[in-house]
Amino acid sequence: MTRRSEHLSPELHAYMVAHSAPVDGVLRDLVAETERRFPDVTGLQIGPEQGAFMTLFARLIGARDAVEVGTFTGYSSICVARGLPEDGTLLACDISEEWTSVARRYWERAGVAGKVTLRLGPAIDTLRALPPGPQFDLAFIDADKEGYVGYWEELVPRIRPGGALLVDNTLSHGRVVDPSVTLPAVEGIRAFNAHARDDERVEQVLLPIGDGLTVARRR
Ligand SMILES: C[S@@+](CC[C@H](N)C(=O)[O-])C[C@H]1O[C@@H](n2cnc3c(N)ncnc32)[C@H](O)[C@@H]1O
């Protein structure tokens, strides 16, 4: 899978990245190491324009406390953590010790390790174990697609009013509009998209960034 907004030509994508906040050496090295060590799953990382957007977005909403569901080797977590202030916090949830051991090294290199707490285990259990009330300004969901509605239901009540949720892969590589595709992951995204659209606790927009990024603001 490509690491760019999929409706753009490679040339237009390169132009867009070249005219956005630059990708620094830490993120470039992280992409290279991920490609070298895990060539079959490199496409799991968010792309450079989405990373730049998420850093800027965290800053724009003044986020201090954030949570991520689906950390992998750390690209998106570094982008979110960089948008938080020095006393900011990011709770990073994943099930893979192997992939997140790469993330840990790059959090150090990026200078954000002091903001990040990693919780290994099924993210639904991690979220359910959190205190029930509002405690985060920003959430990013990017893990198993069948779990999205469950993650959303745990996270929306824990987002402070005016805070936001970002949800990845909500266009599912275009498969959301192909009724012949009934893969569980695609059905999970369809179910999530309908669920989020009808949720009156938030106002939201599905943007064509990356593989589709839903941006929702908690009322
Ligand atoms: C698409 S990748 C995340 C990519 C990451 N956001 C980035 O930009 O590099 C999905 C991640 O979700 C994790 N994951 C899958 N199922 C999970 C679960 N039930 N609980 C927690 N993490 C899970 C996987 O281990 C994987 O690292």
pLDDT digits (tens, 9 = 90+) for 33-57: 999 999 999 889 999 999 999 999 9
Q: What is the mean pLDDT of the chain?
A: 96
Given a cut of 90, whether residue 7 has pLDDT beyond it is no
If pLDDT is split at 50, 70 and 90, which confidence band does 6 have?
A: confident
Ligand 1 contact, 75 CB (< 6 A): yes
If pLDDT is split at 50, 70 and 90, which confidence band does 5 have?
A: confident
Q: Which residues are registered as beta bridge partners of 68?
A: 92, 140
Ligand 1 contact, 94 CB (< 6 A): yes
Amino acid 2: pLDDT: 67
* φ, ψ of residue 21 in degrees (nearest 5): -50, 130
Residue located nearest, by CA, to atom 26 of ligand 1: 72
Given a cut of 90, whether residue 97 has pLDDT beyond it is yes
Bridging pattern class, strands 136-141 and 116-120? unpaired
What topology does CATH give the domain 10-218?
Rossmann fold (3.40.50)
- According to DSSP, residue 28 is labeled H
Stretch 156-168: mean pLDDT, rounded? 98
Given a cut of 90, whether residue 71 has pLDDT beyond it is yes
Amino acid 123: pLDDT: 98
pLDDT digits (tens, 9 = 90+) for 82-92: 999 999 999 99
Given a cut of 80, whether residue 117 has pLDDT beyond it is yes
Given a cut of 80, whether residue 1 has pLDDT beyond it is no
Ligand 1 test: best mutation among 144, 154, 172, most atoms within 8 Å of CB? Answer: 144
